[in-house]
Every structure is written in structure tokens, then in C-alpha cells.
Structure 1
């Protein structure tokens, strides 16, 4: 199929991330598992020491940051990397370009909210700052503040584990409509608290494997190997004309965010999904239709695949329904960073960009259907995300 020429493109000028891998996209092939054991005696994908130190340094840079939740600080770190990579740092002598911010998070200020609640149960009072520091809007507004945005909107999104793609989809809509020219969009989550881990354990999906045994195993079948992680990824998006890109000296690859599609299925159980992944099918079809490409033009899929047997199987059933007889290359980064809830889709997109740029990724050290390698060049990747309540989202990214 000959692709139509789209004059206006949404390009990813820069991006940043922080996760159990630190600020790297993937570990070296000889790295040990990036998992640790939480005080709750469960394996988790927590920040390594160097990333933890960077978070502590950030907290000290601005007095007001000392009171911020960990989720917000992770978002600030990733956003700073994205703006630096895009060359968007504030320049007092340059004209001000409006910058809009759109950040997704499933739980928001998880740790701080739990601390305030514990103090209330013990003391019967809460500080004045409790409400403004724990609203979901608190996440995007601080990212906008730190980025120096004074003339753009700050939007926060929460739709469980597809929250980051809700933020990316919103950003694309604004950019295409001409309501903005520059966007910081992504997701952030710091859910490694006793209470949140207890919630995941109560659902019955948590991995039985120890931290040193690669406990998160998407595509490996039974038992369920869900592992909670923390992290953030933020992308500097810009609407540009194709002609202007051709006029620039392209010293590095240009990544285009082609589409973000959404799906929903009304399931009675809010933790359930249909065996054939109807919400995935809807989201993928919408993403393909927006980008005006066929399934055959997708080279790889970064799966949502959290390591739960039912969820993994439903996503693959959806892919078989749309891509048969030959599936694209199947990839995942959750065995490296865990499931980061509202940040997971953003970190999956970050992983997709790494694959596009390097044509490489580490092979999973367990039996799975994830690809170890491919001889075919990868130029377009579909990224899936899904969450409680029957929602799903899919994004397409390509490299020019």
C-alpha cells in the first residue's frame, strides 16, 4: 500500500525516562535482574541507587519541591530530560513559544496521600497543603512549572494503566487542531507503597518468583507474574510540516508519533476482559485507521502484556484477529521495568524508540513468545496499553 503524504506531522523532538533501569532505555545483556525485594516481601522494580540520588538532588533544587510526592518528582526528572533533548530549555532572549503539558498517572500522589491519611488517623488533623499536593492535577501543574511554561495548559489524565496514552492522545489532538505547537506529554507513577502492593496481592496476580529470578515474565503463561514498578517517561512533541523536516539537516533519526487509538469493552468485572481482547482490537484498528496504514505495515508490537495469563492471552488473541497469518515481532519491556501502572505506556513507547534507533533489544532469559531478534528492519512499531475498567489504547510510531 502506498502511504498518503501527510504534510503536518507530530514529531518526537526529545524524550526522557527514569525507571528500575535508571535513566537508560535497556540494560546491558550481562546486567543482573533490576528487581529488589520490598519490605512487603514482594519483588518490585524500584529505582537503582544512582537514580534515587538524582531524585534526592532534584528535591533539594527548589524549596517547594521538598514537599512533592515521588510521582511528581519522577515526572519532573523525565520532563527535564525531554526538554533538554529537544533543545527547549528556556532562553530569555528568544521569543516565547507556548508549551502545553499533558501527564498521565493512574494513582497520582500515592505515597503522600497515604502519609497524610496515616497522620490523620493518628492525630485527627491534616496540614493545609494536603489537598493541593494530592490532587491529580498537581502532577501536570508541577511539570509545567518546572518547564517554565507560563502560557500553555497543564492537563492531568487518569485512566488506570493506559493513562500515559490518554495524555499522548490528548496532546496529538491539540497539536493537529492547531491549539498548540509544542507539548510535553507522558506518564509517571510511584506506587511502591505497602498499601498499593497489598492491593495487587489481593487481586491474586502477583508473581511468586523472587527478585533475582526475573519475576515478571510476560508471555510465559502460568503462573501469573505481575510485578509492580515505578518510573516515568515524558516526550517533547512538536507539530511540524514535512517540508520543513526535509529542509533541516537530519543529523539523527526523526521519530513520528503517527496515531493514538482507543478502545473500550463493557465488562461486568472491572478487572476482567474478553478472551479475544475486544478493547485491544478497537484501539489497534483506530490507531491503524488514523495513520492510514495496513496491519502488514507494522513491523513490531510492544505489548501491554503484564505477565497475567488471561491478560497476555487476550492481547495475543486480538493480535491474531488483526494480523494473521503472520504476527509482527512481539516485544516487551515489563520484564525489565515491571508494571508501572499509569507510566507503563510511556515507558513502552520509550522502549519502542530505543528499538527503532538501535534495531536491538535484550533477549528475555525465560521461555516466552517474545522475539529475541529479527532479520527484518523495524521501521514502524505499535505500542499497546490497557487498564482496569475495559479500556485500551494503542499508539503507532515510525522512524523517517
Structure 2
């Protein structure tokens, strides 16, 4: 993409434990977690509230083919519809591409089909097409009326949404598309997935009403699983077009400056190096792509899942890239919604956009190194994500 073109975020939508388009920057947030019984255990989870359940049910029954779709897909559809509406994009756009990340994909449907097979030895004909990873992006594309654009799916565990975002950016910069819907969706609150997370020995023991997910708080581990989605309407725009728009428009404009990636090959596929080498590479790549010096970043939304080792490694990586002088202020939204796996990076980016809009964030009600409030104007935010297998990604977003 030439320097004459920018990638703007024209619209966005999100679904989480904080409702549709939830407010991450409310000054006095209340715990949005619930209890979920799985086997003999009761675990805190970041599940969507009643209002979102009604929206999911309405969407499922509004169109006959949607009645069989997995919850992950439906969350993605809800977020994508919000993004498209805010962008003001018309239906049936042949140039529109779709790029969606999901760590687990159709988790609920897959587990149900397998349970049915174990019970009676029969597999439904729809089992395979309804549980493939590409099922998420293809249905978002169908619902958005993307009649001829790309429909791309990505699964790189918890950085999946930024893998999807980075691919969309590459297509836009290459001139292969003018517009993209990109983000992530995940509905992992199933018995088997919750049992997997608990088996890792990282799950929080705090009660739902006691802020069970506590990034940056140290031991014990406070990982909490959540569900949600966030999708962004990206558009390639010339500087001349943007200047003409700004002459008459009063709404804030957001620029997606870059998406960087980092990888490390380590023996433990659930761990990471002590100084977060993949985080360092991803952050440096994002800054380099944007020609952005480290001291021009005002805030950093950490991946920070509430695991002591993971949080510490990321913080060391941040120190290696930014130093201790003039480092960006560190924030996280996982204490508000939990860890939504493949959707988490997208929801963190939504948090970053809300910070840019409102110039504030809430103070965590527990001991942590997260910043309680901004101490300077926030014009540029870096967002981190990482996943099992040694992959990390960072997205840089700013006010235009």
C-alpha cells in the first residue's frame, strides 16, 4: 500500500459479558461474571447476559439456515452486523472481504455431535460442514452480503483475531480488496472446554462477584474463560479522501496503523520464554511497520491472561521494547470479561478504541501493576495478543 493510502476502522461491533457494544471504560464497573457448573466443579465464567441471549435467540430463529449454526458463528454475526451498520456499508458488496479468527470454532456443535455419536453411533449429515473452521467466516460473509469477496478463517489459538486482522490488512495494502470485515468470535463455555482449561491448573478460584480474573496481580493464577466476539469494518482510504471528509465531519476517525507478528519455538506448547521473545518481535514489528518510535505509544493493552508466568513474561517483553522511561501505560480488559480465546485480541482492540474515544479506563479493584487512570492524552494504543504454540501479535491503532 502506498503512503497515500490509510486503513481506517469505519465501524465496529462487539459482544461480551458486558452486553452488545459493552462499555469497557465505565468509571465504576460491576462484576459481569457468572457461575457455571461443569461436572463436579463450579467455575466463574464471562458469559453473555440475558439481553445478548435474547439477541442470539432472535437471530437463530430469524432465518431457517441459522437454526443449526454454532453459538460462535452467531456471536460473530451479531458483531459483524454492528460493524457494518456503523460503517454505513450497503449490502451485496462484491469487493467486501471477510477475515475471522477463532481458536476453537464451532465448539458447542462439535461437542454435541460427538456426544450424539457416542450415544447412538449416528452422525448427522450436517456435522462436518457445521463444524469446520471456515464455517465461521463463510456465514459472516453470507450474512453481510459479501457475494464475491474473500472469506478467510484463522486459528492460532488466542491470537487468532489478530491473525485475521493482519491478513485483512495485507489484502487491503495489496489492493486486492477495498473493504474488509475482520475480527474474532468464540463461544467456548462448554463442559469439555472448561474442563480442559481447569486441567491446566490455571483456573481462578475466586467467586464470580469477587473479580475472579486479575491480570497483573501475581499469584495465584486467575485465568477465567469467557465468550464473545468483536468485528471491525476496515477500509482503504486515500489521504485526500480523508482530508475532504475531515473538513465536514465531526466524528472521530481511527487508523489501524499496523499489525506485527512474533513466533518462538519452545518445548512447552502451553508456555512461553521468560522474557516473551515472541511478544518482543511482534511489538517491534508493529512499531517498525508504522514508523512509530516507542515513546509515541501512549497506552498498551496487554494480553495478560491472569497467569503469573504469562503476565510476567509479557511485562519483561514490554520493558525490553520500551524501557522504563516514558513507557506506555499498561491496561487490560480481561478483568472485565475474562479470556475469550480467539476473540480476545479483537475485544482488546475494541477496548483500545474506547480508550481513544473516552480518554479514560476504569481502575482495577484489586492489587495490580495495571495503570489506574491515564496521566496524559491518549492518541495511540498498542494491543498485544499471544497463544499456545509460541505465537504473538500486536496491533497499533491511533486517532487520525
Q: TM-score range by the shorter chain?
A: over 0.9
Structure-1 separation of matches of 2:70 and 2:166: 25
| Superposed CA offset, 1:339-372 (max 9, x none) | 0000000000000000001101111110111111
Quick one: distance in 2 between partners of 1:50 and 1:89?
A: 27
1:79-228 matches, cutoff 5 A: 79-90=80-91, 96-228=93-225
Unaligned runs of 5+ in 2: none
SS in 2 for 1:167: helix
Q: State the Cα deviation string for residues 156-192 of structure 1 (Å, max 9, x = none).
A: 0000000000000000000000000000000000000
The aligned residue for residue 56 of structure 1 is 57
Say whether the 8 Å CA contact 1:21–1:27 is kept in structure 2.
Answer: no
Determine the structure 1 residue equivalent to 2:343. Answer: 343
Larger CA deviation: 378-387 vs 319-328: 319-328
Instruction: Out of 33-42 and 367-376, give the one that drifted further.
Output: 367-376
Q: How many residues align?
A: 392
* Superposition pairs of residues 1-400 of structure 1, within 5 angstroms: 6-23=3-20, 24-26=22-24, 28-40=26-38, 41-90=42-91, 96-248=93-245, 249-326=248-325, 327-400=327-400
State the TM-score, normalized to the length of structure 2: 0.96
| TM-score normalised per structure 1 | 0.96
Q: Extract structure 1 runs of 4+ deviating beyond 4 A.
A: none
Q: How much does 1:153 deviate?
A: 1.0
Distance 2:138 2:356 in 1: 31
Please say which of residues 326-335 and 224-233 is displaced more in the overlay.
326-335
Contact 1:205 1:226 survives alignment (8 Å): yes
1:97 Cα deviation (Å)? 4.8
> What SS is found at the alignment partner of 1:131?
helix
Structure 1 contact 224–308 (Cα < 8 Å) conserved: yes
The structural deviation recorded for 1:373 is 1.1
Distance in 2 separating the partners of 1:242 and 1:35: 43
The DSSP-based 3-state class of the residue aligned with 2:59 is helix
In 2: Cα distance, 1:186 partner to 1:241 partner: 23
Whole-angstrom distance in 2 between the partners of 1:278 and 1:187: 24
* TM superposition shift of 1:26: 1.9
Q: Point out where structure 1 has 5 or more consecutive residues left out of the alignment.
A: none
- Conservation of the 8 A alpha-carbon contact between 2:360 and 2:374: no
Q: Contact (CA 8 Å) 1:17, 1:81: kept in 2 or not?
A: yes
C-alpha root-mean-square deviation of aligned residues, in Å?
1.1
CA distance in 1, matches of 2:329, 2:174: 33
Tell me if structure 1 keeps the 8 A contact 2:8–2:254. Answer: yes
Aligned with 2:130: secondary structure? Answer: coil
